[in-house]
Each structure stands twice: as C-alpha cells, then as structure tokens.
Amino acid sequence: MNQLSINQLDKHQEEQLLILEDSPYPSDLEITKFMKFIELIQIFISAQDVRESSKNTYRRTLKQYFTWIDHKGYDLSLVARPQIIEYNTDLLNSGMSALTVGSYISSIRRFYEWCESEKIYPNVAKGVKSPKRQNKFRRHGLTPE
C-alpha cells in the first residue's frame, strides 16, 4: 500500500488526527489505524473505473457515512448490516429523498463489495436495499379532446 501524506487529508481527517496526537496517551496503533482507514478509502476510490464525478460522489458519501459512524460512537471493526440499515433510516428521517439516500447506500455497498473482493473486510452491506422511490407525480395520459 502506498503511504498517504498529511497533505492528502481533508479538514475533518486532519482534526481527527490532531485529536489523536493531542490525547494524553495517544497510541501509535490508533494513529496507524486512522491513517490506514484514510488510505483504504483513497485506494478504493482510485481503483474504481468510473468518471471523476462518480469518484467525487463516492468520496463525499463515504465521508458522510464514516463521519456518522464516528458520531454514533460505533467501532469501525464492529460495523455490520444493522448499522447500515440504521444509517439508511437516519438519512430518510433527515428529509433526504429516496433517490439521494439510494445513492449513498449504493456507494456504501460498492465500498464493502470492494473490501470483500480485496479480502480486507467482509461485505456487511450485502443485501441492504436502497429505499423505494415514491411516485409523487404521475403524468396522465392524453385524452382525445
């Protein structure tokens, strides 16, 4: 794996790293785990054969997903299907459209599929469905008038 430089971190990642470094007893393991995690996401994104706009979508949606995990206090190594379903529900309850939530869940499924294919982490998102879109507006057929 390539080493990730500090210049490639976004603002949230820099803050998290500074918190770890400033803690009274930061363990090298904690800092290493954090850096490996950032590296993993970067490698996943660069491994995707998609347009740059899709890579940006993956970056944005995965960042939000892992920020949510952090805010919930979940241990990354223990995340499983129930947490992804909870995330799906939280996104819907926040007022996002089913189409937007579906995009977020699709990114997460793709990430975990890739992790499993690389034998890094099991695909805990397997079988998690995107929410169904509601037809709020339907066109009415033309009438012979």
User: Quick one: tokens of 121?
Assistant: 């982490």
Could you give the CA distance from residue 66 to residue 61 in angstroms, rounded to a whole number?
Answer: 9
What pLDDT was estimated at residue 89?
A: 94
**All residues at 6 or more sequence positions from 36 whose CB lies less than 8 Å from its CB, including other chains:** 1
Contact of 56 with 43, CB cutoff 8 Å: no
Residue 142 lies in a domain: no
Residue 42 lies in a domain: yes
Could you give the CA distance from residue 138 to residue 145 in angstroms, rounded to a whole number?
Answer: 20
More confident residue, 38 or 46: 46
**All residues at 6 or more sequence positions from 22 whose CB lies less than 8 Å from its CB, including other chains:** none
Q: Please report, for residues 76, 82, 111, the alpha-carbon distance to residue 79 in angstroms, rounded to integers and kept in the order given.
A: 5, 8, 13
Residue 113's domain spans which residues?
10-117
In the chain, how many domains are there? 1
Q: For 81-130, write each residue's pLDDT tens digit.
A: 999 999 999 999 999 999 999 999 999 999 999 989 988 888 999 988 88
What pLDDT was estimated at residue 7?
A: 43
The DSSP element (H or E) to which 108 belongs, if any, is helix 98-117
More confident residue, 9 or 110: 110
Contact of 115 with 123, CB cutoff 8 Å: yes
Res. 141: pLDDT tops 70: no
Residue 144 lies in a domain: no
Residue 44 lies in a domain: yes
Residue 71 lies in a domain: yes
Q: For 40-72, write each residue's pLDDT tens digit.
A: 888 899 999 999 999 999 999 998 898 898 888
More confident residue, 117 or 135: 117
Phi and psi for 111 in degrees, rounded to 5?
-60, -50
Residue 141 lies in a domain: no
Q: For 10-28, write each residue's pLDDT tens digit.
A: 555 555 544 444 444 444 4
What pLDDT was estimated at residue 15?
A: 55
More confident residue, 46 or 135: 46
CATH label of the domain that carries residue 100: 1.10.150
Residue 131 lies in a domain: no
Residue 23 lies in a domain: yes
Could you give the CA distance from residue 52 to residue 69 in angstroms, rounded to a whole number?
Answer: 26
| Side chain identity, residue 24 | P
Helix (H, G, I), strand (E, B) or coil at 50: coil
